[in-house]
Amino acid sequence: MYRKIQRNLEEWRQSQDRMPLVIKGARQVGKTYLLKEWGASTFARVHYINFEKSPAMAKMFEQDFETKRIVDDLGFALKTKIDLDKDLLILDEIQAAPKALTSLKYFCEDMPRLAICAAGSLLGVILSDESFPVGKVSFLHMHPMCFEEFFLAVDERDTWKRLSDPALDAKLSDTVHDHLWQMTRLYYVVGGMPAAVMAFIKHRDSIPKAWKKVRDVQRSLILGYENDFAKHAGKINAAHIQVLYRNIPSQLAQSHDDSTKRFRFGDVMSGKKGFASWERPLRWLVNAGIVLQAKIVNQAQQPLEHFCHGNLFKLFVHDVGILGCMQNLDPESLYRQDYGMAKGFFAENFVAQELRAAHCDREWPLYSWQEGEAQIEFVRGYANSIVPIEVKAGHRTKAKSLAEFVRKYHPTLSIKVSAKNLSYDADSGRLNLPLYLAKWAALL
């Protein structure tokens, strides 16, 4: 399946000052598959090591950081010869081998000819900042498949070509728009986890069976995340992480068609209240990549980070398919959008995903705005102003908060994301993006 991060990988491969590359991302977002497939099509040979499956391989990095010895030992263990100029070395689940991560500094300095890609699911959770060879490695961030990648995976390439470079005021035909909105609702069910997407593609000729297979995959993924809590966080901390993780969908669902509210720790567990009590479990989930955090700012001024308060934020699940599974939402009802009034939070979670997935080469922080009773789902810096990004689940798009924001801050561009078609008013600078083009809000 095509992933847009392949462009970044190719740029890295061709870079004149290439450093070892580390790909970060939650478990099962496709890091290993991508590296193997891309490597096989680009390099003479690919040498793959998984430190969780083969912990003995980590010992080869513990003796010293002599890069030639390490490469020779790896080649001996793999029963092959590693060509420094033509081959790719993949070090997977590198968080299980801290010395291997540290060695990347020496590969950068002493053996820059060798292309090395490392990948890890829990790098920010297990390893301290001191373990990272700062300035000696490049980073890429991998997310669940975005809507565009999902759309291409289900054989819709010809349709997507119409959206490759459209003008902002180029309204799509009703036929194309309706089809894309249908596919958006399908994405709400399947989400962007590659295993779930593959399950849908394999069984799509029988939709009831496809729904079941997709949910089976999603439940398995959730169980895998919760097993990670127990394996890497300690018994007591793991219990708190699990309670917090399971509470996020419940709090999201409390909003109806309004903007989701800030996360309230007092609603998580009786007797354990306040941000300080939950800060470590929250950091674990965010660093593991399975929870997205949008900080709430109380003024729309740059830099946005200066107007945040540490304990005021929204939380989202990293994949809408996982979100629907955690809430036990019936797939058919979710697809048909007849699961009750609480639709706004699903659209908002979807947009949060799309904004984060827009950039692979850096972390994309999410911000929300709230002053008094007015609130905007997302805001971002743009030129010398702050752009509001209001999210509406359907076709009803009256937006008092957006009007209040525009009146107070006079942004050069304001964005509304909804089920409506693409449109742009140049005089007012107001852009309506259909939900399936939400990622544009991070790219304009």
The residue extents of the domains of the chain are 5-141, 147-443
| Burial class of residue 346 (count of CB atoms within 10 Å of its CB; 0-12, 13-18, 19+) | buried
Map residue 437 onto helix, strand or coil.
Answer: helix
> In which band, very low, low, confident or very high, does the pLDDT at 341 lie, cut at 50, 70 and 90?
low
| Burial class of residue 17 (count of CB atoms within 10 Å of its CB; 0-12, 13-18, 19+) | exposed
User: In this structure, are residues 281 and 241 in contact, taking their beta carbons and an 8 Å threshold?
Assistant: yes
Write down the residue that tokens 């190719």 correspond to. 10
Neighbours of 93 (CB within 10 A): 23
Which residues make Cβ contacts (< 8 Å) with residue 265, sequence separation at least 6? Answer: 272, 273, 274, 275, 277, 278
| Overall average pLDDT of the 408-432 stretch | 93
The dihedral through the CA atoms of 13, 15, 18, 24 has a sign that is negative
Q: What is the pLDDT of residue 324?
A: 96
Give 189-206 pLDDT, tens digit per residue: 999 999 999 999 999 999
Give 141-187 pLDDT, tens digit per residue: 999 999 999 999 997 777 777 666 556 667 888 998 999 999 999 99
Distance, CA of 48 to CA of 247 (rounded, Å): 38
Distance, CA of 31 to CA of 168 (rounded, Å): 33
The dihedral through the CA atoms of 224, 226, 230, 234 has a sign that is positive
The answer to whether residue 128 scores a pLDDT higher than 90 is no
* 5-141 to CATH, choices 3.40.50.10860, 3.40.50.300, 3.30.70.20, 3.30.70.100: 3.40.50.300
Region for 25 from its dihedrals, namely left if φ exceeds 0, alpha if ψ lies in -120 to 50, beta otherwise: left
Distance, CA of 328 to CA of 326 (rounded, Å): 6
| Overall average pLDDT of the 347-367 stretch | 93
Q: Looking at this protein, which amino acid is placed at residue 330?
A: D
The answer to whether residue 257 scores a pLDDT higher than 60 is no
Q: What is the mean pLDDT of the chain?
A: 90
CA angle 264, 267, 268 (to 5 degrees): 100
Is the preceding omega at residue 303 within 30 degrees of 0, hence cis?
yes
Main-chain dihedrals φ then ψ at residue 85, nearest 5 degrees: -100, -20
| Overall average pLDDT of the 46-70 stretch | 97
User: In this structure, are residues 15 and 112 in contact, taking their beta carbons and an 8 Å threshold?
Assistant: no
The answer to whether residue 24 scores a pLDDT higher than 80 is yes
β-strand pairing of 366-371 with 385-391? unpaired
Nearest to 47 by CA among 13, 25, 73, 17: 73
As a 3-state breakdown, the chain gives helix, strand, coil percent values, each rounded to 5, of 50, 20, 35
The answer to whether residue 398 scores a pLDDT higher than 80 is no
E-assigned strands of 196-354? 291-297, 308-317
User: In this structure, are residues 5 and 142 in contact, taking their beta carbons and an 8 Å threshold?
Assistant: yes
Nearest to 320 by CA among 334, 302, 307: 334
One-character DSSP codes across 73-91: HHHHHHTS---TTTEEEEE
Q: What is the pLDDT of residue 208?
A: 95
163, 166, 168, 187, 415 from 176: Cα distances, Å: 10, 13, 16, 16, 21
User: In this structure, are residues 378 and 391 in contact, taking their beta carbons and an 8 Å threshold?
Assistant: yes
The answer to whether residue 129 scores a pLDDT higher than 70 is no
Element housing 320 (H / E): helix 320-326
